[in-house]
Amino acid sequence: MKKKILISAGPTREKFDAVRFWSNRSSGKMGYALAAAARDAGLEVTLVSGPVALEPVSGVNMVCIESAAEMAEAVKGRAPEMDIIIMAAAVADYRPAEVISGKLKKLPGEICVKMVRTEDILASLGAAKPAGQILVGFAAETSDLLANAAGKLARKNLDWIAANDVSRAGCGFAVDTNAVTLLGRGGEKIELPLASKSEIAAKILQVLLS
């Protein structure tokens, strides 16, 4: 039987009013490259995607969502049956506390928007991880890359984390290349130097399947 993998990709959008939202610069390219690499490696792939400007990946089960809450529902509902889960999505950590109905009209002076935390989906997956499942996160960092990534690996009960210095040229959001360091729960440290996101994705899959 084919191994089942779920990959999340892209940003989430957290609604503020009828026409505005809170989001981030994630393009979805790394997650989509992982989905294609997993398909090419012979896995049954589910790709849970936030709003991106990419063509859908052929031969995978696409699930399109907008908000962190929708991503949580789509991912957690499918998680128990998965052999591997890679959370490559840039899930918003905060959402506006209230969604204003209609379009907010401007008024004189400042406004203050209260933001509340979204669910940490990866942490929830780690807390409920079935035996044998491989759970993988991405750590998007602009400082203390490996220490922060190692902290997330332990805190979220992951098997691997891809430490991604998103402040480095050619790495991270929106570009076609990336460089990551894979940290494993057994102390493994695997450097994947600057390459196309497709090449990085194929190497990550190789490590997870070896």
Question: Least Å distance between CB 124 and ligand CTP?
Answer: 8
**81 DSSP 8-state letter:** G
**174 DSSP 8-state letter:** S
The CA-atom distances, in angstroms, between 192 and each of 26, 119, 152, 204 are 20, 30, 19, 8
Of the pair 42, 167, the CB lying nearest ligand CTP is at 167
Residues binding ligand CTP (CB under 6 A):
68, 87, 89, 91, 93, 118-122, 137-140, 152
Residue 82 half-sphere exposure, CB side, CA atoms within 13 Å?
24
Of the pair 51, 104, the CB lying nearest ligand CTP is at 51
Structural contact between residues 47 and 62, judged by C-beta atoms closer than 8 angstroms: yes
Q: Which tokens in the block code for residue 157?
A: 């009960």
Residues taking part in catalysis: 24
Q: Which tokens in the block code for residue 152?
A: 């997330």
